[in-house]
Structure 1
Amino acid sequence: MIGIAVLGAGRIGKIHAVNAATNPDARLIAVADPFAEACGPLAAQHGAEAMTDPMAAIARDDVDAVVIGTPTDTHIGLLTRAVELGKAVLCEKPIDLDIGKSAEAAAKVEALKGRVMLAFNRRFDPTFAEVRRAIDAGKIGAVRQVVISSRDPGMPPEGYVKSSGGLFRDMTIHDLDMARWLLGEEPVSVTAMASRVVDPALVERYDDYDTAMVILQTASGKQAHINNCREAVYGYDQRIEVLGETGMLSHDNLRPTTMRLTTAYMTDAQQPLLNFFLERYTAAYRAEMDAFVAALAGGTPLPTTAADGVQALRLAEAALESVRSGKTVSV
């Protein structure tokens, strides 16, 4: 049994806690959060110990691995301490908002031979994972283009925008990682455009954007096109298309059911899309935790690494530079 401590009792911590507690090869030992009113009920719900000192939770002898779901500016300190103590880590993205600090942390993890997995949960979505398996099986031949549409149902709270690091580091970074994963090659150039068309009054205060398009290209000429917007009035829009030399793979949005209604007044009417990431990626978060525990139990490589986090952030920084300069940026 892998003893796990979940650090952070917010919305992402709650997801990780239930997935750790229900994994048959893991035991949720502790939930740590500086706010006792947050970690207390969550820990009690899953039969774990509530702790207000995350560092103390990391140091416990019965904790083999930690899951970091705390604010981004605390990630490096917690991650580094866990690695120094020989604990495995599942860390939410990004490692840090600063690329230099992130790269330094990843280098330290490598030097200490630490086991750190970056939480790019979309790789573990059942349908997205099936798309990757189909690519690996050669069902569409060599990949030529990837198109990713990722749009939120509405602007996040202002407090979240203030601390998020901006659209590219917070939202687009997931799609940049997906593009790398599906292309199978590292992008060498980034071209991006961004605008403020949803809520100019909000985003301008933080020098941020709410709508963006990003073009990536690899050395061999493979391309990825990412579409982002903070507001899609019809719901949480998550679609992928992969064009290969002998065919195409595509993935449509998910809904509560697949029922369609056709009457004299409408054709093929469907239920609204799943509302947000907590619903849309429930299975992905569970599969992500299962993959983390399985790798630790079996002594196999972790499916993502700190280096993946650094590279996705590097692409996000390049996209932001491209927006500000109006030029294509080499990576």
Structure 2
Amino acid sequence: MDVASRNKSLRVGVLGAGRIGRIHTQILTRLGVTVVAIADPSDERGESLAREFGVAKVTKNPDDIFNDPTIHAVLICSPTDQHAQQIHQAAAHKKHIFCEKPIALDLAVVDAAVHAVEAAGVKMMVGFNRRFDANFKRIRQAVLQDEIGAIGMVRITSRDPSAPPVSYIKVSGGIFCDMTIHDFDMARFLVGAEVDQVFVMAQARDPEIGAAGDVDTAVVCLRFENGVLGYIENSRVAAYGYDQRVEILGSKGAVSCENNYPNTVTISNGTSIARDLPLHFFIDRYMEAYKNELAAFVEICLNKEAVAPVSGHDGRQALKLGLAATLSMKENRPVRLSEFDSPRMVGRL
């Protein structure tokens, strides 16, 4: 069977027709996957997405997708507070699962969802798309192939061009479980080790974000179990564009990547050397990574031997780091990840 026919044999339902649901639906159709149905509480949003990509069925009720025996897999692109419940439902109906991060904002809820997936014998992949970016994959390759020797330090710069609406921030779980969670996963992925301790310094430069109970500027220090030190710098606002850089220092050298730009042009004259600003929007920056991510999901659905490259455990560990960072900020102290192994600490925000 050729690739097109093979991909077409996979029948998928999409839960959520918002921005990320649209991105994933677009990519699935380009991969040749059969998108059977879209579920969204908004008729207008669901029908608009279905028309754009030729999806035959639109529903307000996700149960219509779970109960359809012809659907093999679901993409959970709904609001975070619906993720865990929909994982349970998909697992109960023996459907493979792609779930956007985070699985939930409580470790006990995450554990129950992951257990349901394992008990059902289906596969689940969590949406940390940056692992599939060509730059970051090459950095991980340099580490694996010992091109820079033993790692001593990792530095991640992650700055958004503008903050999301305050209405979103209020329900997001906070910057560390919404934005920095990507960087936590990236740190684990690049270093190949678990984090032992977290310490945070943060502030809200935007008073509206502060009034919503969150921060928009943060520095996160990490200590890994293998002794590597990490440094994550976050900002919700970088006027010049979407800033995504990484550097790892090793005993034999260093590896780093810079931002992506719309072109490679440099203008030099008698007063300055200049170039255009970095790509401004996360979709532009990571579209290829999203494509590679979903191609990997399609593969694990169609290949019985394939294992999810980003597991429920990875989702849990990133959330655990987000919770630890939040606690560190609130209590102004280093927080060991082992503190969250205590029943009284599970899910603590």
CA distance in 1, matches of 2:229, 2:11: 42
Q: Does 1:206 align with 2:212?
A: yes
Identity %: 40
Residue equivalent to 1:139: 147
Task: Give the drift of 1:113.
Answer: 3.0
CA deviation map 1:52-94 (0-9, x unaligned):
2112112212211110110111111111110111111110000
SS in 1 for 2:34: strand
Partner SS state of residue 164, structure 2: coil
CA contact (8 A) 1:292 1:302 kept: yes
The 3-state SS of whatever aligns with 1:82 is: helix
Partner letter of residue 14 of structure 1? R
Give the letter aligned to residue 118 of structure 1.
V
Q: Where does residue 99 of structure 1 map in the other structure?
A: 107
| From 261, 265, 272, the counterpart of 1:266 | 272
Give the one of 243, 246, 261 matched to 1:240: 246
Per-residue CA deviations over 1:15-70 (Å, capped at 9, x if unaligned) read: 0001111113x211111111111111211222212222112112212211110110
Alignment of 1:118-133 (within 5 A): 118-133=126-141
Q: Could you say which residue in structure 1 is the equivalent of 2:50? A: 43
> 2:114 aligns to what SS in structure 1?
helix
Aligned to 1:230: 236
1:279 pairs with 2:284: yes
Q: CA deviation at 1:148?
A: 0.3
The alpha carbon displacement at 1:116 in A equals 0.8
Aligned mates of 2:96, 2:86 — CA distance in 1: 11
Q: State how 1:77-92 maps to structure 2 within 5 Å.
A: 77-92=85-100
* Aligned residue identity for 2:132: F
- Runs of 4 or more consecutive aligned structure 1 residues displaced over 6 Å after TM superposition: none
* TM-score normalized with structure 1 length: 0.96
CA distance in 2, matches of 1:280, 1:16: 15
Contact 2:247–2:256 under 8 Å retained in 1: yes
> Secondary structure in 1 aligned to 2:301?
helix
**Number of paired residues?**
327
Corresponding residue SS for 1:114: coil
Q: Who is 2:116 aligned against? A: 108
CA distance in 2, matches of 1:220, 1:98: 27
Q: Give the CA deviation at 1:265.
A: 2.6
Q: Where do 5+ consecutive residues of structure 1 fail to align?
A: none
What residue is the counterpart of 2:38 in the other structure? 31
The one of 318, 338, 344 aligned to 1:312: 318
CA contact 2:80–2:103 (8 Å) conserved in 1: yes
1:144-195 CA-partner distances (Å, limit 9, x unpaired): 2110000011121111111111111100000000001111110111111111
Contact 1:55/1:78 (CA < 8 Å) preserved in 2? no
After superposition, the CA RMSD in angstroms is 1.2
Q: Distance in 1 between matches of 2:229 and 2:264?
A: 32
1:175/1:226 contact within 8 Å kept: yes
Aligned counterpart in structure 2 of residue 251 of structure 1, from 242, 251, 257? 257
In the alignment, the residues of structure 2 paired with residue 22 and residue 82 of structure 1 have an alpha-carbon distance, to the nearest angstrom, of: 24
CA contact (8 A) 1:44 1:50 kept: no
What residue ranges of structure 2 are gaps of 5+ in the alignment? 1-8, 338-349
Would you say the 8 A contact 2:94–2:121 is kept in 1?
no
Partner residue of 2:180 out of 157, 168, 172 = 172
**Residue aligned with 2:179, SS:** helix
